[in-house]
Amino acid sequence: MRHRHTNDSDNDVVRAIRRQDKAVVLELAGEIDLHRSVKLRERLLDLTAERPDMIVINLSEVSFMDSSGLATLVEALQLCRRNGGALKLVGIQERVRSILEISRLDHIFPIFDSESEAMAS
């Protein structure tokens, strides 16, 4: 299995990107609002353009997300599906899950407790 790590500063919303075969795992961190979702959107657009089979977004270190962050994830989900791939969310904290529920998007995203479960599905 091939791994490649890209580590960013603590201030970066994308803490790491790992590639495993034809899947890409993004580890996000911190608070994702209008300020920080811009960078996330750039990264996700770059990644979806590579047309990976699967993008797994690990949100276990994300403590806050607003609708601008959510919009970024919805856009990436739609791009992935258009390319025949999948986008899955992992490790969502309760306060982030609540915005998915309020927005009735919790059934649109495949959500898993762990990366291994997401990879295996």
Buried b (16+ CB within 10 A) or exposed e, 94-106: eebeebbeeeeee
Site residues (CB under 8 A) for another protein, limited to 19-38: 31, 33-35, 38
- In the set 6, 20, 60, 68, which binds another protein (CB under 8 A)? 68
Task: Please report whether residue 104 would count as binding another protein according to CB under 8 A.
Answer: yes
Choice between 21 and 101, CB closer to another protein: 101
Residue 3 DSSP code: -
Choice between 23 and 62, CB closer to another protein: 62
Task: Please report whether residue 111 would count as binding another protein according to CB under 8 A.
Answer: no
**How many separate helices (H) and strands (E) can be counted in the chain?**
4, 6
Torsion, Cα of 47, 92, 96, 63 (10° steps): -90
Q: Distance between CA atoms of 70 and 19, rounded to whole angstroms?
A: 23
- In the set 8, 12, 66, 106, which binds another protein (CB under 8 A)? 66
Which residues in this chain contact another protein in the complex, by CB under 8 A?
31, 33-35, 38, 64, 66-68, 70-72, 74-75, 78, 95, 98-99, 102-105, 108
